[in-house]
């Protein structure tokens, strides 16, 4: 049916009051046909027609610095949250709220502001009190008459700044806090998500990110993770004054992805520092397998999304990563931006030229973070996931081009990296041996457990 014919028919039916149902159907059909025609016209001019697919992703917010919640019922003008810690010391704790100043904290404790100015002018450390942040804790001690005696403030996790008043004498010094590092080990099996498995293994999200960052050059943590994948790690745990403080660095780790084993050991020697495979090759490669910050994406992957390989790697020129709008996209490797522009088909897009005649392309950004001609480092944010251009939902379309030929970014062999050599290799092997033994023990224990 040609369009003028259709319109005539609609007009005819509009005058036929006895068939209003048919008329409505025809009107809807006509509008649909016109819209389809418009859409087809659009797609003809595009260079990347993509089938409609609804993204189903769950966002995992990046863990934020812990800021205490506001206490209820606080009035205006320098109201503070006060927690009195009972005990021999009788410190009064004050947590800094957003927008709060040191003046208002002192006022709330009925400490003369003149004293605050005296404290601030004691030395460089007390001068630094200007830069307090929400969540910081000030602790005060008063004598029986309510006069200021002492103030304690954590400059960082290992140091207290102590201010004392004795008679007319005011002094400030630094108190070191005892921090002890223990070596721990853990392992996990992925059932639904890497983050959930990490939590079950006693790891914070930050530690899971560290683990993923070690293997991110070999494993695509967005598309390649499967149920049954396993990880084992040897890592540091920090204790302060006898209490657990936080997890430290990963010393060695194994990741078994779809049956393939990857191992890494941390090594530092002279100007060499980083994670190395048992053969002495750096884990860091010239290109990242997936150019996205996966922490925004993979926490919510579900079993239904575990085997969608054929649906996701389509025979078009690249890979589509469905991710929440605004997810940072990284330069997969070091290079120079050859294009940073907007077009109707590609939306906001960025092309990067790398060594070895390799070019990477990134489409549909909500916004770009680099300019044409700019040099970029691997892992540098170049834009943010969006749905500009011909995209049905927020996603990154990623292409990997070698000598002008499109290759599959997930399977293309990447340029080899030089391994450690000579004395450095010998030193690495000596340091890695006990770590690898520990990993082997964890790996067999994990395998045994998973077969029970
Ligand atoms: Zn695509």
Question: What's the gap in Å between 317 CA and the centre of ligand 1?
Answer: 7
Question: What's the gap in Å between 284 CA and the centre of ligand 1?
Answer: 27
pLDDT band at 450 (very low <50, low <70, confident <90, very high): low
Nearest Cα residue to 301 out of 224, 391, 405: 224
Residues 6 or more apart in contact with residue 345 via CB below 8 angstroms: 45, 46, 47, 48, 389, 390
Handedness of CA 341, 342, 344, 349 (dihedral sign): positive
Decide: 284 and 267 in contact? Cβ < 8 Å: no
Residues 6 or more apart in contact with residue 135 via CB below 8 angstroms: 65, 66, 67, 68, 95, 96
Task: Give the 3-state secondary structure of residue 255.
Answer: strand
Counting residues of the chain whose pLDDT is more than 70, the rounded percentage is: 75
Mean confidence (pLDDT) of the chain: 80
Task: Identify the pLDDT of residue 101.
Answer: 87
**Within 13 Å, how many C-alpha atoms sit on residue 418's CB side?**
5
Nearest Cα residue to 107 out of 97, 99, 115: 115
pLDDT band at 77 (very low <50, low <70, confident <90, very high): very low
Q: Region 378-395: what's the mean pLDDT?
A: 92
CA-CA distance, 238 to 179, in Å (whole number)? 7
Nearest Cα residue to 134 out of 81, 202, 61: 81
Task: Identify the pLDDT of residue 447.
Answer: 75
Question: What's the gap in Å between 395 CA and the centre of ligand 1?
Answer: 8
Task: Identify the pLDDT of residue 130.
Answer: 84
Assess whether pLDDT exceeds 60 at residue 301: no
Residues 6 or more apart in contact with residue 394 via CB below 8 angstroms: 55, 322, 323, 324, 325, 327, 364, 366, 385, 386, 387
- Burial class of residue 396 (count of CB atoms within 10 Å of its CB; 0-12, 13-18, 19+): buried
pLDDT in tens, 1-25: 344 444 434 343 333 333 444 444 4
**Within 13 Å, how many C-alpha atoms sit on residue 64's CB side?**
6
**Within 13 Å, how many C-alpha atoms sit on residue 357's CB side?**
6
- Burial class of residue 355 (count of CB atoms within 10 Å of its CB; 0-12, 13-18, 19+): exposed
Task: Identify the pLDDT of residue 89.
Answer: 63
Q: What is the number of other CB atoms lying within 10 angstroms of the CB of residue 167?
A: 5
Token pair, residue 104, equals 């208002």
Task: Identify the pLDDT of residue 451.
Answer: 59
Residue ranges of domains in the chain, CATH in brackets: 81-176 (3.10.450.350), 178-284+418-452 (3.10.450.350), 287-416 (2.70.70.10)
pLDDT in tens, 230-264: 999 999 999 998 899 999 999 999 999 999 999 99
Question: What's the gap in Å between 48 CA and the centre of ligand 1?
Answer: 7
Task: Identify the pLDDT of residue 131.
Answer: 86
CA-CA distance, 372 to 351, in Å (whole number)? 9
Question: What's the gap in Å between 334 CA and the centre of ligand 1?
Answer: 23
Question: What's the gap in Å between 398 CA and the centre of ligand 1?
Answer: 7
Task: Identify the pLDDT of residue 224.
Answer: 87
Question: What's the gap in Å between 49 CA and the centre of ligand 1?
Answer: 8
What would you report as the CA-atom Rg of the chain, rounded to the nearest whole angstrom? 30
Task: Identify the pLDDT of residue 271.
Answer: 87
Question: What's the gap in Å between 406 CA and the centre of ligand 1?
Answer: 13
Question: What's the gap in Å between 255 CA and the centre of ligand 1?
Answer: 29
Q: What are phi and psi of 381, to 5 degrees?
A: -70, 125
pLDDT band at 315 (very low <50, low <70, confident <90, very high): low
**Distance of alpha carbon 296 from the chain centroid:** 6
**Which residue is associated with the tokens 């000598």?**
403
Helix axes 20-45, 3-14, angle to 10 degrees: 160
Question: What's the gap in Å between 340 CA and the centre of ligand 1?
Answer: 18
DSSP state at residue 116? H
CA-CA distance, 123 to 174, in Å (whole number)? 11
CA-CA distance, 199 to 363, in Å (whole number)? 34
Nearest Cα residue to 442 out of 180, 183, 182: 183
Question: What's the gap in Å between 221 CA and the centre of ligand 1?
Answer: 19
Listed range (157-161, 223-227, 260-264) with the worst mean pLDDT: 223-227
DSSP state at residue 299? G
Q: What is the number of other CB atoms lying within 10 angstroms of the CB of residue 133?
A: 10
Question: What's the gap in Å between 378 CA and the centre of ligand 1?
Answer: 22
pLDDT band at 193 (very low <50, low <70, confident <90, very high): confident
Question: What's the gap in Å between 391 CA and the centre of ligand 1?
Answer: 8
Question: What's the gap in Å between 60 CA and the centre of ligand 1?
Answer: 23
**Distance of alpha carbon 240 from the chain centroid:** 27
Question: What's the gap in Å between 296 CA and the centre of ligand 1?
Answer: 19
Decide: 337 and 370 in contact? Cβ < 8 Å: yes
Category of 259 on φ-ψ map: left (φ > 0), alpha (ψ -120 to 50) or beta: left
Question: What's the gap in Å between 320 CA and the centre of ligand 1?
Answer: 5
Instruction: Label the pairing between strands 179-189 and 230-240.
Output: antiparallel
What string of DSSP letters covers 149-180?
A: EEEEEEEETTEEEEEEEETTEEEEEEEE--EE
pLDDT band at 37 (very low <50, low <70, confident <90, very high): very low
Task: Identify the pLDDT of residue 216.
Answer: 92
Task: Identify the pLDDT of residue 374.
Answer: 97
Question: What's the gap in Å between 424 CA and the centre of ligand 1?
Answer: 44
């Amino acid at each position: 049916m040609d369009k003028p014919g259709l319109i005539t028919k609609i007009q005819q039916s509009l005058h036929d009051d006895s068939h209003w149902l048919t008329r409505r159907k025809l009107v809807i059909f006509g509008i649909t046909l016109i819209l389809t025609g418009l859409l087809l016209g659009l797609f003809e001019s595009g260079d990347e027609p993509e089938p409609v697919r609804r993204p189903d992703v769950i966002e995992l917010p990046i863990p934020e610095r812990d800021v205490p919640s506001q206490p209820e019922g606080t009035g205006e003008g320098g109201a503070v949250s006060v927690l009195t810690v009972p005990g021999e010391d009788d410190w009064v704790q004050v947590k800094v709220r957003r927008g709060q100043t040191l003046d208002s904290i002192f006022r709330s404790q009925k400490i003369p502001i003149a004293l605050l100015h005296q404290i601030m002018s004691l030395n460089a450390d007390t001068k630094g009190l200007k830069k307090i942040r929400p969540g910081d804790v000030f602790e005060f001690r008063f004598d029986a008459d309510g006069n200021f005696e002492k103030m304690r403030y954590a400059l960082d996790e290992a140091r207290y700044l102590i201010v004392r008043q004795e008679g007319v004498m005011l002094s400030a010094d630094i108190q070191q806090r005892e921090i002890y590092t223990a070596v721990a080990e853990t392992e996990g099996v992925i059932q639904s998500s890497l983050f959930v498995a990490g939590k079950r293994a006693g790891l914070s999200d930050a530690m899971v990110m560290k683990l993923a960052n070690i293997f991110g050059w070999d494993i695509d943590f967005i598309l390649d993770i499967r149920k049954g994948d396993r990880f084992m790690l040897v890592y540091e745990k920090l204790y302060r004054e006898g209490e657990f403080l936080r997890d430290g660095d990963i010393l060695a780790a194994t990741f078994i992805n779809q049956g393939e084993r990857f191992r890494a050991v941390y090594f530092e020697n002279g100007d060499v520092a980083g994670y190395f495979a048992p053969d002495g090759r750096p884990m860091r490669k010239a290109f990242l397998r997936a150019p996205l910050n996966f922490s925004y994406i993979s926490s919510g992957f579900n079993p239904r999304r575990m085997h969608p390989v054929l649906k996701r790697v389509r025979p078009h020129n690249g890979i589509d990563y469905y991710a929440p709008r605004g997810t940072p996209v990284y330069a997969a490797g070091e290079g120079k931006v050859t294009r940073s522009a907007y077009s109707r088909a590609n939306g906001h897009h960025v092309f990067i030229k790398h060594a070895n005649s390799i070019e990477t392309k990134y489409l549909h950004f909500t916004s770009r973070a680099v300019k044409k001609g700019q040099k970029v480092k691997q892992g540098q944010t170049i834009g943010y996931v969006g749905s500009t251009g011909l995209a049905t939902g927020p996603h990154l379309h990623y292409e990997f081009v070698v000598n002008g030929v499109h290759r599959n970014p997930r399977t293309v062999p990447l340029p080899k990296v030089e391994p450690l050599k000579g004395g450095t290799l010998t030193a690495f092997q000596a340091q890695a041996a006990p770590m690898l033994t520990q990993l082997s023990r964890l790996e067999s224990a994990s395998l045994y457990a998973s077969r029970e």
